Amino acid sequence: MSWFKNLYASSIGKKLVMAITGLIIFGFAVGHMSGNLLIFLGPDVFNGYAAALQGNPPLLWGTRLVLLASFPLHIFSAIQLKRLNAAARPSDYGEWKPQASTRSSRTMIWGGMVLLGFIVYHLLHFTLRVTQPGLEDLTYNLDGAMVHDAHRMVLMGFAPTAMGIFHVVLYVSAMVALCLHIYHGVWSAMQSLGLNHPKYNVLRKQVAAAFAFVLLIGFSAGPLLTIAGVTKAAGEAFTKQSTQQVDSDATVRR
């Protein structure tokens, strides 16, 4: 383990820890966003998906434990890197002028704090369900099995009420912060992991921008289309269509 200590003591080591934990959190975000998009397919599909995750303890707890380790490591190495950079900055050359790199790293720290605040609220809201009255005991009959009604919880979370408007503004603003954080994060993680040939600089920025944009749209679609009434209507249309399909398949079989 001493090689790890020696590596972590260097600024390269801290950057590597940040890059790896950042990519783990990013991978989770891509999976989470894809799962969230199932909300448009109605309660059967969305609640079935949520119940399948809840009913798979190794996957659920494995993911939770990896995230529980990744978030503090990511934040801790960010703080230590910031301190290292501040200590290395020459202070006796007159007035200090901010460089582009220090400006973006400050933005990353502030953006990261906004995201941390959002994630704490988000877990209290949708996982512990303690911030919004009515979300505590929602159940759904999924083919005879009573499961948590995650679909209804999201419709209520982003309903056209004062609280729903507050949530839409909060979630979409946080997703803008996530998008900026991911843009810079994916770009610099690729650099820390060795993809830093000048030939690929433009490509790295384009890849990072594409990922950030897809996450911004994919995550924001849920809150924005729910408050606009589209999520409920799309879910009803999809459920009706699949019920008709099941009925016509049964008629053909008979």
Residues that bind ligand HEM (CB under 6 A): 25, 28-29, 32, 36, 50, 64, 67, 119, 122-123, 126-127, 150, 154, 171, 175, 178, 219, 222-223
C-alpha 162 chain-centroid distance: 24
Least gap, CB of 246 to ligand HEM (angstroms)? 25
Least gap, CB of 167 to ligand HEM (angstroms)? 9
Instruction: State which residue, 54 or 245, has the beta carbon closest to ligand HEM.
Output: 54
Least gap, CB of 74 to ligand HEM (angstroms)? 11
Instruction: State which residue, 122 or 205, has the beta carbon closest to ligand HEM.
Output: 122
Instruction: State which residue, 13 or 157, has the beta carbon closest to ligand HEM.
Output: 157
Least gap, CB of 155 to ligand HEM (angstroms)? 10
Nearest of 71, 111, 104, 72 to residue 85 by alpha carbon: 104
Task: Please report, for residues 90, 93, 99, 234, the alpha-carbon distance to residue 96 in angstroms, rounded to integers and kept in the order given.
Answer: 9, 7, 9, 55
Task: Please report, for residues 8, 50, 83, 217, the alpha-carbon distance to residue 195 in angstroms, rounded to integers and kept in the order given.
Answer: 20, 36, 25, 27
Contacts for 127 with CB less than 8 Å, ≥ 6 apart: none
Instruction: State which residue, 81 or 178, has the beta carbon closest to ligand HEM.
Output: 178
Instruction: State which residue, 63 or 80, has the beta carbon closest to ligand HEM.
Output: 63
Q: What gap in Å lies between CA 62 and CA 57, rounded to an integer?
A: 8
102 C-beta neighbours (distance < 10 Å), count: 15
The residue nearest ligand HEM at its CB is 50
Instruction: State which residue, 36 or 102, has the beta carbon closest to ligand HEM.
Output: 36
Residue 141, burial from CB neighbour count under 10 angstroms (0-12, 13-18, 19+): exposed
Terminal Cα-to-Cα distance of the chain (whole angstroms): 67
Q: Which residue has the tokens 């920025």?
A: 205
Q: Phi first, then psi: give them for residue 176, nearest 5 degrees.
A: -65, -45
Least gap, CB of 46 to ligand HEM (angstroms)? 9
Q: How is residue 177 written in tokens?
A: 């912060």
Instruction: State which residue, 59 or 79, has the beta carbon closest to ligand HEM.
Output: 59
3 state SS of 147: strand
Least gap, CB of 15 to ligand HEM (angstroms)? 21
Least gap, CB of 232 to ligand HEM (angstroms)? 15
